[in-house]
Chains A and B, each alone.
Chain A
């Protein structure tokens, strides 16, 4: 009975050992005590890897750690709230007060900027919790709609850069050698270019007739700014992954190269990719904001937080709320996104833990 127990405990212990070192990303080799056992161990390792890819303990572990970090939980909740508010807010406001973001009152007396919670004759009123802008439009509705646009731009542009960056980096990393060299050289060169300057030129030259067209242009332009770092990150990951056994095993069983890259390796790079993507969203939103601030981004009648800020600055001395509300809302959202990104990074990369 002792012998059997030893055997099973041996392989179970090995699996545990393999799994833990797989999570930590090390390549410790077990001591091979005989050729038959050596093959069995590789099977174990492959199976473990397969499980990992479909999201077992690595992600659950990370999720647990994320939840323990109060700041990132706060970030998550705040972001969720803002997103919800942006999506549903304008609708609710229309039902409640009748004001849409674009509605300009017909009554001349209302074509002014009112401070928050004030009605035209100076008494307290719920109609405009954030006041109105110079043309009498409800600021809360505009801020929320601005949120829609800003968030949408942030997310879609990040997705664009993600797709480009991950593909580029994965291909460069996996193919290695001269191809990798050339591709990364290109990235280095592009990295040192004054991207935003060129984008400003692009956007100013091609101010589309339609606001929608401008949006699409923005997506592409902003997406093409952040893919570079993403490509670098992914390439680094791929380089370290491609020499591990599961890749060898896939190759040995004849899986084609694109499949190896995209179905086997890329899922294992998801950790840093997710972290970086979460941190890219606020960066992109910031870029869009200042582009809109300068006049090149979102065009009226659409509004984003950046363009609301431009309007707001005009009268900052007299009607400071016009700038403060969109500004603070934006700052809060970015704040939360950054916390979330930081928390994700700490959760997914245990070696970078605080202690």
Chain B
């Protein structure tokens, strides 16, 4: 197991460096620049700006400077938000995104697994059809449609929750964003759970468990769940990646000062240090989380031994 982890980490590090490099290259290759958009500035002013930001040096020096900074975990200062270091911005916006993201996924797991299991146990019943139809809806309605509709209903018409803005963690402001974000994952997880459970419930070892005289409850909880939920565990890896992009949209809709929102702004502003900082952070976070998911999976399935 240790070997597996070390091997993974060894692959991860160059991967992250490649990701950062690719991002850097993309930014540099793009036409235009951050300080003037598509306009042209008077040469003198432009020269000053370029000197200030070290843009007049040769590209390899700039690359080295950037990478050197990164290895020291210093991503520099934002080009747009004067004086704020990228690290500070990330530190400030991360909790917002993390809160929404984690709550959304937990909600998705809770509701999804429950609904999916019940659907599998009562296959072809009204409950099964109803929850699977809802799940279908969940994966078909885009979150940027669902969010505003929820706002329309619950905020602007019923006045139950405020429509947007971030107000810290235990506040009613997070309800709609979390709901909007978790909808699609709830749906996927419900479907996966149902499929996984159905397959397990049909397997020989469940037949053996039943033939031992175990109650249906014991059969499901003790024998079926473990195998039936494995697909959900392995889904967590890619789900986290999608969760990221979902968070971006939700933060835009609800005007939340999270990592995603800053990322979009940075991309629109061509704020290179901030872009690279966020991309690097996200890449590392994803790779680490994927590693954790794989370890968890190996722990849950004794047939897999690294």
Contacts and interface: CB of A to CB of B under 8 A. Distances in A.
A–B touch (CB < 8 A): the answer is yes
9 contacts: A194-B283, A194-B286, A197-B244, A204-B267, A205-B26, A205-B29, A282-B140, A320-B152, A334-B142
Nearest to B291: A192
B137 interface: yes
Interface string A250-274: 0000000000000000000000000
A332 B253 CA distance: 22
Contact of A202 (B26, B145, B245, B268): B26
A317 interface: yes
A323 B11 contact: no
A45 B109 CA distance: 47
Contacts of A185: 11
Interface in B230-256: 237-238, 241, 244-245, 248-249, 252-253
Contacts of B263: 197, 200
Nearest to A185: B11
Q: Is the interface of B mostly helix, strand, loop or mixed?
A: helix
Given A198-B22, A294-B249, A193 B283 contact: yes
Q: Count chain A CB atoms within 10 A of each CB in B22, B136, B249 and give the residue with the most.
A: B136
Given A200-B264, A313-B253, A289 B144 contact: yes
B255 to A, nearest CB: 12
Interface residues of A, number: 44
A103 interface: no
Interface string A193-211: 1111110111011100000
Nearest to A295: B268
Interface residues of B, number: 48
Q: Considering the complex of A and B, which 3 residue pairs feature the smallest CB-CB distances, nearest first?
A: A205-B30, A327-B145, A334-B140
Q: Count chain A CB atoms within 10 A of each CB in B124, B249, B253, B270 and give the residue with the most.
A: B249
Interface of A: 185, 189, 191-198, 200-202, 204-206, 282, 286, 289-290, 293-296, 306, 309-310, 312-313, 316-317, 320, 323-324, 327-328, 330-332, 334-335, 338-339, 354
A189 B11 contact: yes
B142 A289 contact: yes
